[in-house]
Copies of this chain bind each other. A is one copy, B any other.
Amino acid sequence: MDAGHVNVPESHRDLLERPLFAHLATVRPDGGPQSSVMWFVWDGARIRMTHTKSRQKFRNFAAEPRVALSIADPEDQYRFLEIRGVVEKIEDDDAEASFYKSLQHRYGMDYPIRDAAERVVVTIRPHTFVAVVGGGITARVAG
């Protein structure tokens, strides 16, 4: 465990491990928020997402690295996890967009990648987890 590691509440860990959809909140350069539905993968300490260099969210990350995500259980959307964190790094994907491909595979959606040169890997370090069941907070863990 590295410094600053925050454990996800055990009751909600499955929401990070399953190939679910994260709603990602970012702050635009004008200070207003934006919300997008995104693929992600969790390695036990970091959330990673694929993105392209040309889109608004990429500019948002650069201007304001603080982000938030919410992930709901599709079988019971009253059980969800809120995550707050910071974009720790943004790196180019490799020439084959291997990270993007691994995400496609995780979500069962393999298709040809036409924008590999534009693809980046966005790494988010969570610092706060809020676990909700039935509309009520059951755990809050902050680093």
From A25-33, A89-97, A117-125, give the one contacting chain B: A25-33
A132: interface (CB < 8 Å):
yes
Number of interface residues of A (CB under 8 A): 27
Q: Which residues of B contact A83 (CB under 8 A)?
A: 35
Taking beta carbons and an 8 Å cutoff, which residues of A are in contact with B? 21, 23-27, 31-37, 64, 66-70, 72, 74, 77, 80, 82-84, 132
Shortest Cβ gap from A35 to chain B (Å): 4
Give bound CA distance, A74 to B76, whole Å.
11
Give bound CA distance, A74 to B68, whole Å.
21
Closest 10 CB pairs of A and B: A23-B23, A25-B25, A32-B66, A25-B33, A35-B70, A25-B35, A35-B68, A33-B68, A21-B77, A37-B80
